[in-house]
Amino acid sequence: MKAKSLIPEPFGPLQGVRIISTGTLIAQPFAAELAAEMGAEVIQVERPGVGDVGWRKLGICLDTNDGSGPIATNWVQERRNVFCVSLDFSKPRGRELFLQLLPLCDIWMESSKPGTYPRWGLDDATVLNVNPTLVVTHVSGYGQDGAPGYPSRTSYDIVGQAFGGTMYQTGFPDKPPSRAAPWTGDYITALFTLWSSLAGLIYARQFGKGQVIDLAQYEAIHRTIGGTMVEYFQKGLVRERSGNKAQGFQPLDSFETSDGWVVVGALSEVYKRLLQAIGLDPNDPKWESARVNLESIEGIEFDAILRGWIAERTTAEVVRILNEAQVPCSPIMTAKDMAENPHYQARAMHVQWEDLLAGPVKGIGVVPKFSLTPGRIWRGSPGIGHDNQRVYGELLGITGEELEQLKQDNVI
């Protein structure tokens, strides 16, 4: 029987779900943290004394109140609600502790090169033997098997974007391929990690049987490139970079205003509303031709007219006029723009919480919004091993003296 939840007050649609997360950086741990914001109990495992040094310290940092040194804004934003413990899997006692935790969990998510955990005696068969209903989600760059040499390769976000096929299409034709920022490939992988793990959990609860999920980062990214591969296999076509333009119709692009940038898109009847808004005759067949024949005289003329119309006006004017005409248009937002925007404010998108390391901070709230079981932020990001006593003591019954010895032995 699963031990009582460590969360002080149950909340959210995932209350009653316990996840143990042993990965680092973004793709897999972010999936677990999203679940934690929806009420799941998430135990994040880190290396003793070291922690997830990349994500804890990478990029812009904030001062901390416990003398542990600066903490990354990424960590503060993306490790809320989780319980952080430290554990060395390579030590026999560390392996034992992990195997004691697994029967108390519903999902184990991890990210590593294939073969890492089996070397520590934590292969899938062993894990499922101690908890036959466990959902095991392996996240790796290239998958658990495949062509010789590939599964053992290391990967980062930009590598996944390159191998998965999005990077070749991102950017402008006369420029080198560009990654989607900030870490889009990893965040895509995180979403695949979470939905597949929850799908496995639904099956396990319905049929009483756990299973293993093999999620390759590049495959999650590859799954988001639309009809690219159908076009290649059926027509021999290779999609090229087109900047912000759409392929085969206009407008869908970024445009410079007198004081900034906007994006505008118009399809079918919306296109006619755009024509009218900028003073062109929506019934003139010339402009219908311009919509799909981008390189024709009409197509080039329309693009020039639209760009000129936008360039003569401020961002606020363009956004107001086109949205009043029911034409999709948005300013290209900076962090300052988003912080000051009334719609962001009205939907309480940015909230303040108390971080355990950095004190009061403000950042992105919980997404999406549930009507009956909303998610919440009940605590901020913890330090390395912050919850060792709570998790090992309350869940496994390990005494304070034993915990101190485990710490002395560098097991936790």
In this structure, what token pair is assigned to residue 159? 């590598």
* Beta strands at 41-46 and 83-86: parallel, antiparallel or unpaired: parallel
Please pick, among 106, 186, 355, 387, the residue that the annotation labels catalytic.
186
Q: How far apart are CA 402 and CA 400, in angstroms?
A: 5
Q: Count of CB atoms within 10 A of residue 354's CB?
A: 12
Helix orientation angle between 184-207 and 157-164, rounded to the nearest 10 degrees: 80
Q: How far apart are CA 330 and CA 318, in angstroms?
A: 9
Q: What is the CA radius of gyration of the chain?
A: 25
Q: How far apart are CA 319 and CA 270, in angstroms?
A: 15
In this structure, what token pair is assigned to residue 100? 């004691």
Q: What share of the chain is helix, strand, coil (3-state, %, to 5)?
A: 40, 15, 45
Helix orientation angle between 315-324 and 268-277, rounded to the nearest 10 degrees: 130
Picking from 24, 34, 44, the residue whose alpha carbon sits closest to that of residue 390 is 44
Q: Counting Cβ atoms within 10 Å, is residue 134 exposed (0-12), middle (13-18) or buried (19+)?
A: buried
Secondary structure class of 351 (helix, strand, coil): strand
Please state whether 164 falls in left (phi above 0), alpha (psi between -120 and 50) or beta: alpha
In this structure, what token pair is assigned to residue 65? 């109140």
Beta-carbon-side half-sphere exposure of residue 3 (alpha carbons within 13 Å): 18
Beta-carbon-side half-sphere exposure of residue 254 (alpha carbons within 13 Å): 11
Residue 249: partners with Cβ closer than 8 Å, 6 or more residues away = 267, 291, 292, 294
Cα torsion through 20, 384, 122, 138, rounded to 10: 50
Angle, vertex CA 17, rays to CA 11 and CA 20, nearest 5: 120
The answer to whether 75 and 30 are in contact (CB under 8 A) is no
The question of whether 63 is a catalytic residue gets the answer: no
Secondary structure class of 19 (helix, strand, coil): strand
Active site residues: 186
